[in-house]
Every structure is written in structure tokens, then in C-alpha cells.
Amino acid sequence: VGVRGGVGEPGARVAQVTVRDALNQALDEELERDERVFMLGEEVAQYDGAYKISRGLWKKYGDKRVIDTPISEMGFAGIAVGAAMAGLRPVCEFMTFNFSMQAIDQVINSAAKTCYMSAGSIAVPIVFRGPNGASAGVAAQHSQCFAAWYGHCPGLKVVSPWSSEDAKGLLKASIRDDNPVVVLENELLYGVPFEMSEQAQSKDFVVPIGKAKIEREGTHVTLVSHSRPVGHCLEAAAVLAKEGVECEVINLRTIRPMDIETVEASVVKTNHLVTVEGGWPQFGVGAEICARIMEGPAFNYLDAPAVRVTGADVPMPYAKILEDNSLPQVKDIIFAVKKTLNI
């Protein structure tokens, strides 16, 4: 477990902080900073959150700011959207984004479209957050990636953090944003410790929405990913570096609005593109990146077709060996890089 050590202490430097604790810090700091912010969702209060993301917050802020709800996503998402229209800043937790399907009418028709349909007179400053994508051994109804679904819809902003700094900075930026923001976390990252800089431990730290981050510089091929597969890309890059192949790894961080300029600049430099995601291939995030590159100035710099590495085009199997074969592994990324470089 990562330590929260170093936060606010004199001479603090880099700290090891888990994604769970980074999200908890973000919620704590934003609840403290703005009394309009409140949280609601299943088990967020007395139980400290299904994944302990909201640990300690109910005791600190009380029943009005941290609210347990019944198992009724459409109901509590609707309450949250109405509260946002009335001037509050709700953070609505879904126990998994698969269950946001119960509330997708509230997210899309009520939250995403209202500012536009009211000619800008009604803002809906709301955050929908929770774990997205595959966990481990929870089968098809709990393992879907919704980045492409929500990234499809104008009026929403969609972020997908990887590291602890991503998680804290993007959640704080999302809570402060005047638009509805979908924050797609990953359950398997919650317990993973990452280094957090002194700057990221500050209460003023935010990661700007719509800006990708180059996690590793490289010259031979561009790897673009978001959420947990960013880690797989870095692992693949480390293996390939021993064979003389230098991968540039881009962590998208935001799905909508997409920072295609950073991807274009990288492709102009490396002349090769591989996209990696845990979601399905058809109409996916990788498909969008490939289309944008093809339509833009970077297309002329490609020396080979762009390659997508995605989840398998099937509902998630329950058996572990089938699940492993349904999700992109490090070996799949290495294979795709060698294919695009023709080595």
C-alpha cells in the first residue's frame, strides 16, 4: 500500500501514493474547498466506499455532503443532475460503469445536452466517476470499457487516468469544471502505488482536461493508450528497447476532447502508430485515433498502416485463461510493434 507520507510536511519530496489514496485526496480537498461539492452513490458514506475511495469522508463531512443511496442508478444519477442544474456540484459514483447503463439517459439526455439546449443558460457541473473496463474474474456484465460510448457524445468531457497523479489531477479538474465530466477509473489500478511529485501533493494541483502526456520518449514507433494499458505499453517499450526499438508512449488521459495534436507530433517524428486499449475494436478509441491521423497532416508521415491492439470482439469470458486472451497483453503490443516496423 502506498504511503500518504510527505503531504504538507516541510521538505516533502516524492511520495509513493496509491491511485485509491490519490482519488481520496482529490475528493477530500475539493469537498473542503467548495461547500457546493457533495458525493452520492452506493456505499460511499458509512461503508467508506465499495473500493474505499471515500474512506473517512462521511465521518469528516457528514450526511449532507456524503450520501448513501439505494441501488437505483437512474434515481440517484437523476437527483445528482437536478442538483447540478440547481447550482450544486455533485460527484456521482457508479459502483462500476457497467451499471451506468441504468442511468445513461440521465448522463446523456439530461446532463450532456442541457447546456446546449438551454442556449448556455443552464450549466450542469457534475462528475460521474467509478471503475471502468475489466477487473479480474467478474465476467461480461462487469468488464466493459465505456470510453468509446461516452467519448462519442458531444456535451460530455471524458477522462481516463492511469497514474496517481493522473487520478488526483484529473478528478480535481473534473470537479471544478462547469461541464458534465465522466471519470473512467480502473479497479485494478486502485491499489497500485505510483510516485507523486511534491507539486502533485499540493491542494492546488490539477491536470488540465484535454492534454495528453508523453510517458516515454522514443523515435521508432508511437504507442497511444489510456488507463491501465498505459502500463502495458511501458512494459512492452522496456522489452523492445533491449532489441533496439525505441517506443514513444503517449498516455491520452482525456478521451474527449482528444489531444490529437500530441499524437500527430509524435507520429511525424516516429512514422509509425500503434493504439492500445482494453475496449472492443469496433468504433473504439483506437479507431477514432486512426481516423483522425488519416484525415490530418500526420498521415503523410506514416511509413506503415496504423495498427490497433484492443480487447477481443466478444463479451468478457469468466474463465481466467479466456479472460487473459480477451485483453491486450504485453506480448500482443510487442507483436503489433514488430508487425508495423516489419521486423
CA-wise closest residue to 237 among 225, 249, 253, 219: 249
> Nearest CA to 186 among 136, 224, 234, 249?
136
143 pLDDT higher than 70: yes
pLDDT in tens, 110-129: 999 999 999 999 999 999 99
d(C-alpha 90, C-alpha 83), whole Å? 7
Maximum C-alpha span of the chain: 60
Cell digits of residue 146:
465505456
Spatial distance between the Cα atoms of 84 and 102, rounded to a whole number of angstroms: 19
pLDDT score, position 5: 47
79-85 contact pairs (CB < 8 A, 24+): 79/40, 80/40, 80/106, 80/126, 81/106, 81/110, 81/111, 81/124, 81/126, 83/38, 83/126, 84/111, 84/123, 84/124, 84/125, 84/126, 84/180, 85/114, 85/122, 85/123, 85/124
User: Is the predicted pLDDT of residue 22 greater than 50, yes or no?
Assistant: yes
Q: Which of 67, 53, 57 is nearest to 18 (CA)?
A: 53
Band of pLDDT at residue 7, cut at 50, 70 and 90: very low
Residue given cell 500503434 in the structure block: 274
Q: Is the dihedral of CA 62, 66, 67, 68 positive or negative?
A: negative
Write down the residue that cell numbers 503517449 correspond to.
250
3 state SS of 154: coil
Segment holding 338, helix H or strand E: helix 330-341
Give the residue extent of every domain in the chain: 17-201, 213-341
Active site residues: 73, 142
Proportion of the chain above pLDDT 70, given as a percent: 97
Reply yes or no on whether the pLDDT at 172 is more than 90: yes
Fold held by 213-341: Rossmann fold (3.40.50)
Q: Cis omega before residue 154 (within 30°)?
A: no
pLDDT digit string, tens, across residues 197-243: 999 999 999 999 999 999 999 999 999 999 999 999 999 999 999 99
Q: Among 184, 176, 159, 180, which residue's Cα sits nearest to residue 113?
A: 180
* pLDDT at position 8 over 60: no
Which three three-digit cell numbers place residue 291? 481516423
Q: How far separated are the first and last CA of the chain, in Å rounded?
A: 40
Task: Give dist(CA 151, CA 55) in Å, integer.
Answer: 29
Q: Confidence band (pLDDT; 50, 70, 90) for 13? A: confident
What is d(CA 95, CA 74) in angstroms, rounded to the nearest whole number? 13
CB distance 194 to 17 below 8 Å: yes
Q: What is the DSSP letter of 40?
A: E
Q: Which pLDDT score is estimated for 3?
A: 45
Contact partners, residue 122, CB within 8 Å, separation at least 6: 85, 114, 115
Q: What is the CATH number of domain 17-201?
A: 3.40.50.970
List of residues 6+ apart from 19 with CB closer than 8 A? 161, 163, 164, 167, 185, 186, 189, 190, 191, 192, 194
For residue 176, give the nearest of 148, 152, 144, 208 by alpha carbon: 208
Q: Do domains 17-201 and 213-341 have the same CATH topology?
A: yes
Give pTM, 2 decimals. 0.94
User: Containing H/E element for 183?
Assistant: strand 181-185
